[in-house]
Amino acid sequence: MFADSTLMSPDFDEDAYLRYALHATNGHAERVRLAMCAKAVREEVHKILSENAEDMVRQVTAACRAQRDVAGVRQATASLVHSISKLRNTVQEPHRVINANIIKLENINAALNTLRSILKFIGLTTRLKSQLPQDLARAARTLHELEELLQTSNITGIEVVDSRMDAVEKAAVVIRTKAQDMLRRGDTQDTSGVAISLQCFFILGSLPRVLGSLMTEQKREVMKSLMRDLDLQSMTDEVNLGNNGSASDINMRTREVIFSRLKSAFTNIAQHTQVVVAVWRVLLKRVDPVTHIPYLSAIENPTSVLGDYWHLVTEKLRERLQAIQRRPNFLAALASDILQYRSLLNSFLVDMRELLELLSRLMEMDTLAMRRTSSSLFSNTSPGGVEQLKRIWLSQVTQEVNDRFAAHVMDRHKERLHYILSKLPSIIPSNNSSRPSSMSIVVDLQRPHVPAAVQVLETRSYTVVATQDVTMYRQDPYALSIVLDCVIQSLTTFIQPVTEAINKWPLPPLPSVSGDTTSAQLLHICVSNACTLLSNDLEALLASLPEELFTEDRATDRWISGVERGIDQEEDEGGETSSNARKHVVDKRRQLRDLTNKFKSISEQAIQPFFKSASGLLLDSISMCVGGAQGQEAAGVGQLQSQIQHFMSHFYYLFDPQTSTLDENARKLSDILIARLIVAVTLLYPFNSSTQQHVLCCLQQISRVVFSFGPASSHGSMGRSTMSLKGQLHQLAAWYNIQEEAFDKPVEEWYTVLATLPPVIARLLLLQRILQPSKGVKKPYTILRVNPDNFVEMIENAVLEQLRLANSPQRGFTDGGTTLPTMMRMGEVMNAVETCFREAAEATREDASQAPMVRWVEKLWALL
């Protein structure tokens, strides 16, 4: 059943209600209910209308006004459409007429253009005919204009055009043929023909294709020449052809064939490369005279194009050379004449230099283009890229030959050193002997020479071989580096067993020099002489090396920058260069210099113990002779002379006279002996007439014997210190010749004598005149509380130190670690001598007969 609210709701379903009402039993009641609901709805509507009447009126008014406006707009629009239709009809007819005229004019213009093209075609063909064959470049430009005209204008099929096409085609063939011929005949000296040819192809737009064909043709020709000239089978047949001689003849024939083939191959490659260089040189320089466009701009990636030619040439050549080197006889021939092989390679690279320079310029242009593109200030492109290519290739084609050459040189050097070292066991002492064996090797002092017994290790035969090799290869840094390396390895092989032998049989600190030469001493003397020969010969060998290598290296070390050092380091890793070879030679020279110094050190160390032992023996003899009984000087001097002659005949003359420190040690020994003589005579007490005669005899005879030793007797040379000591001996002799009558004369004359002597010697001479041990006066060494021998050594060292300082004026008193303590010790000695002098003067003054002498001595002391 439907409620009243349902009947009045907005979503009232009439259909459902009708179905319900038609089937209802009381229809009248339903009509009444509907009437009541309708009345209620009207009342509600009326109420709503009453409340919203004003708004509704305003809305109806606005709608009416809008309707009137729309009607006005529609009328205006209809009027405008009608006007436009009339205007279109007015304009359209003239437009149609104009379009028809335009079409007619276009047809006339096309006809005129065709006529112009025909006239231009006729003019160009006429010009082309007049330009050939004298002006090929202008003819090519005319031909290019004709080809462009034929492409842009449809004039084919016209009788006047077709009649001239054959002449145009023939002219095109002539131009291209002549340009191609001029390009193939490229000459680096006269590039005018190449320039004309490239200009023709650039104008015609076929430059990339023509250049590619040229490069391909040159590559093909290079490969053909390499296969022909460096064919292994043909080379072998040529070597064996009519050659039935000895092995040396076959080797000579092999070298002739190989180097003649290499020269031919390199010459052919150079000829083809000259064509390439002539073309690319013009490509890099020239621009089109009309458009000012560089010829190079027409080539895509020119660096790669030119680099491919270099790569193919060097790669094929490397393959052929390595194939040759795989044949043992060919490799031996190349290694036997490595200088010629390297000379040919260097000549080849010189012929390829212009090509590499062009390639380097292209790489620089690529680098600049990369910088401009990336707007970067830096680039990773190596400035030595082209040089690195050359180094790598050179290293590849010389590595096997260098190794074979090094092995050949090393075999010769080792063979010579093996012969020398085979004699080493003959001078090594026997292990079975419980005591060292001795042998009598005596040198005649009248005709001194180094005996053969101490020249067993005759190393000069090796240094002659080494010097010959260095002299032969000194101008080639690569070969010289290899030779020096072989020398260093050989000398290292020699020094090892020699060092082991002298270390196994060392000399005692003071070897005996009073008897015959022992086997251990002979071993060290032989080794010393061998090392002396080696060091002297190696010094001469080092002096023979080309000085310009080392001068350039020192200059390079001063100015080379960090970047260049980095590049050089990359070059060291990439292959060999001339700068690398120089560096290797400098390094080998340094190593050889170290070995030379080592040999010199071994020689010097072998000499030192002998002279130390001789020094101790002869110093004792001089002390005994001076301190011996008066009147027995002849026996002491005879013993000293016998000992010196024995040392010279049994030891001194066994050493090679060229030993670096031999003369120096001999001079030092002479100085020490003279200093001992001077000190010993000044310490003789008491002083009387017999002592005076004894001293004069010792000064004369002992000095004569000492000066007969060493270099002064062998070749007349005498050191500055020895000359100074000889002068002091002369002053001492003058001092000891003073008679008692001189005490009454002025002291200045005798002061000049003492002033030339060392201060301590001068004071000891004055002390000697007045010191009388019988009167209880202490001697200087007693005051110092040292034994007499130590005191003598102290005075002796002071004399020698003064000589050293006098002969080395640039060195101060504080120079070195021993000078200052020595000077301080001498101060103590001088104080002790002065104390002793005061005491002796007081004791002697009591004797009236000695008073004049005491006063005379004191005056001299005061002057000193």
What's residue 822's pLDDT? 66
pLDDT recorded at residue 259: 92
What does the DSSP assignment read for 81-143? Answer: HHHHHHHHHHHHHHHHHHHHHHHHHHHHHHHHHHHHHHHHHHHHHHHHHHHTTT-HHHHHHHH
- Are 759 and 864 a contacting pair, CB within 8 Å? yes
Query: What integer pLDDT is reported at residue 812 of this predicted model?
Result: 42
Q: How high is the pLDDT of residue 547? A: 77
How many residues are listed for the chain in this entry? 864
Q: Are 202 and 294 in contact (CB under 8 A)?
A: no
What local confidence, expressed as pLDDT, does residue 432 receive?
Answer: 55
Residue ranges in the chain modelled with pLDDT below 70:
1, 186-190, 242-245, 374-385, 431-438, 549-578, 710-718, 740-745, 774-776, 808-822
**Is residue 804 within 8 Å of residue 691, measured between CB atoms?**
no
Whole-structure pTM value: 0.70
Q: Give the SS3 label for residue 438.
A: strand
Q: Rounded to 5 degrees, what are φ and ψ at 742?
A: -75, -15
Q: ∠ CA 809-813-815 to the nearest 5 degrees?
A: 90
Determine the pLDDT at residue 257.
92
Task: Give Cα separations from 278 to 70, 93, 531 (angstroms).
Answer: 90, 71, 60
Rounded Cα distance, 804 and 807, in Å: 5
Whole-number Cα distances in Å, 237 to 14, 106, 227, 228, 666: 127, 81, 15, 13, 69
Q: What does the pLDDT read at residue 768?
A: 85
Q: What confidence score (pLDDT) does residue 535 get?
A: 93
How many other β-carbons are positioned within 10 Å of the β-carbon of residue 738?
16
